[in-house]
Amino acid sequence: HRAVMGKSSGGFGAIVHGLRHPDVFGALADHSGDSAFEYSYLPDFPAVVRAVSKYGSLEKWWAAFQKAPKKTHEWLKVLNIVAMAAAYSPNPKRPLRIDLPFDLETGKIDPAVWRRWLAWDPVRMVANVARYRRAAKRLKLAFVDCGIRDEWHLDIGARMLVKELRKAGARVVHEEFDDGHMDIQYRYDRSL
């Protein structure tokens, strides 16, 4: 009789917790949650390479970020990828304790690290791991929504996720709406 819900990275958390703990959660609501990582994260990798190269290293970028009085979109784009690396590819032996899924000098994808990220992609979790397909089928309900103007293309990821959840036998309510990623808390009433 418990449900978990969240928006953006919280939506990612809701779907992952629901799939990893079907004994705890019977339902979930994923509002604009991170999924289909090749659409949501990969497009920002080149911008991160460019932004960090201005400072010479990730550590120097971090120091400059901490001192910057105003955080622009460029700063936050890098911060988002750094935060995702902390979640998907932590490494206490590296600068900032993370492995990035690409080379900061050339931008070349590091396949081993990128695979670590993709292992957490909810679309792939349901499509490729039997345990998560079984968990999806056990859910009483999965509510997934996203705006069709989402700046990180999470609407595309939501469509992929919904397809995989339904293939696994989950009961899914999927809604799209005419908005972006920000200030969409008015959507929470839909899932509740």
CA atoms within 13 Å, Cβ hemisphere of 114: 13
What are the tens digits of pLDDT across the range 46-86? 999 999 999 999 999 999 999 999 998 889 999 999 999 99
Look up tokens 């079907």; give the residue.
Answer: 22
Question: Contact, 168 vs 126, CB < 8 A?
Answer: yes
Q: What is the pTM of this model?
A: 0.94
Distance from the Cα of residue 16 to its chain's centroid: 10
Which pLDDT score, from 0 to 100, does residue 156 have?
98
Residue 4, SS3 per DSSP: strand
Residue 151, SS3 per DSSP: coil
Which pLDDT score, from 0 to 100, does residue 73 have?
86
Segment 154-176 mean pLDDT: 98
Nearest to 144 by CA among 169, 175, 120: 175
Q: What DSSP element (H or E) covers 143? A: strand 141-147
Residue 95, SS3 per DSSP: helix
What are the tens digits of pLDDT across the range 11-54? 999 999 999 999 999 999 999 999 999 999 999 999 999 999 99
Residue 187 has pLDDT above 90, yes or no: yes
d(CA 159, CA 59): 37
Mean model confidence pLDDT for the chain? 97
Nearest to 152 by CA among 1, 12, 5: 12
Residue 95 has pLDDT above 90, yes or no: no
Look up tokens 């900061």; give the residue.
Answer: 104
What are the tens digits of pLDDT across the range 132-143? 999 999 999 999
d(CA 61, CA 55): 5
